[in-house]
Structure 1
């Protein structure tokens, strides 16, 4: 005789949202790597901040080093800067850097990686591959790579002196004359190739 009891509902299977988990881990990793450094940040710290199980770092990235590589590769995206009109490049870049609240995040990640040889090697590799090389190609002849290095020096100087290790003169931001000087210095590197 068939049962008269209503069928029991199967519990809903919760689907994992892998993209959301990856994003949460990378966001947490960026926050911690850019404030505590690579060596002082543990997988459990990252997972706790992301609100996920620490085993997911290994599943999605292979290791803490793999997570560092992918996070740094994401934040070292120079593509948007290469869309700026060359004639206004200096002024636009200074405005962007001064307006961005977390512009020093990638630089902090790079600097704070120095105490770990493997993370430092990754930092140097990705800086060259994702910033200097594309910028050098965009700048073109003459001396695209040298000019890309000079721009990197100017940008890093701004971010270190203004955000990471602020000198008193810059603690309230750049005054107008310093902004004009920096924009002109950046623009002069851009204009070296114009003939």
Structure 2
């Protein structure tokens, strides 16, 4: 009897992982297009193709689901490359990212809700500013990490979320080179 139950456990585990991933994908899509307040658990479940009770089972609440969607934010992989190419590599990641719903859109559209706003600020600090500040080191690693975040968020907002007319073609190429250089200059402020 134990032999027949063993194959079922891995199948259930895979289904659970698949269900959780489907819920997160649906939630990211809705949070990044509608915001936190305008997204309901039932809508997330419907888009994911699951029963809405599963959202509560996996994430506890809509707030727990929102926090889980923010887990995609992680700058640490970018910190393992060549420091001298960080500007080019980091900006390249912005341009190479598919048109998938992004965490910046989720955070901006959810800023009106105090709990979602707090979760966004906490995630940005924990997943971007703190590791980037450690990596940058003295002088003023945290200040430089904050300036980089301002620079990148401003660019991404102007390019993707509130697109400026004319930021395409040759202008976009020139802006990319500028963003690479400015990013690298902030990184290099600590170089001796």
Aligned position for 1:34? 32
Distance 2:100 2:143 in 1: 23
**Structure 2 partner of 1:47:** 45
The structure in which a higher percent of residues are helix is 2
Deviations 1:52-87 (A, max 9, x none): 0000011111001001001112x2111221122110
The answer to whether the 8 Å contact 2:133/2:142 transfers is yes
DSSP 3-state at the match of 1:167: coil
Tell me the CA shift for residue 110 of structure 1.
Answer: 0.8
Q: Which residue is equivalent to 1:162?
A: 159
Per-residue Cα deviation, 1:97-151 (whole angstroms, up to 9, x for no partner): 1121247611001101111111111111111111100110111111010000011
Q: Deviations over 1:8-51 (max 9, x none)?
A: xxxxx896421111111111111111111111110011001111
Q: Which has the larger radius of gyration?
A: 1
Match of 2:23 among 22, 25, 37: 25
The equivalent residue for 2:188 is 191
Deviation at 1:95, TM superposition (A): 1.7
1:63-142 equivalences in 2 (<5 Å): 63-73=61-71, 75-102=72-99, 105-142=102-139
Q: Which residue number corresponds to residue 59 of structure 1?
A: 57
Question: Does residue 1:145 correspond to 2:139, yes or no?
Answer: no
What SS does the corresponding residue of 1:170 show, helix, strand or coil? coil
Contact 2:45–2:51 (CA under 8 A) maintained in structure 1: yes
Give the 3 Å change call, closer, same or farther, for CA 76–157 of structure 1 in structure 2: same
Using the size of structure 2 for normalisation, the TM-score is: 0.89
Bigger shift: 131-140 or 102-111? 102-111
Q: Distance in 2 between matches of 1:101 and 1:31?
A: 13
Q: Which runs of 4+ in 1 moved over 6 A?
A: none
1:104 and 1:163 in contact (8 A); partners too: no
> What are the ranges of 5 or more consecutive residues in structure 1 without an aligned counterpart?
1-12
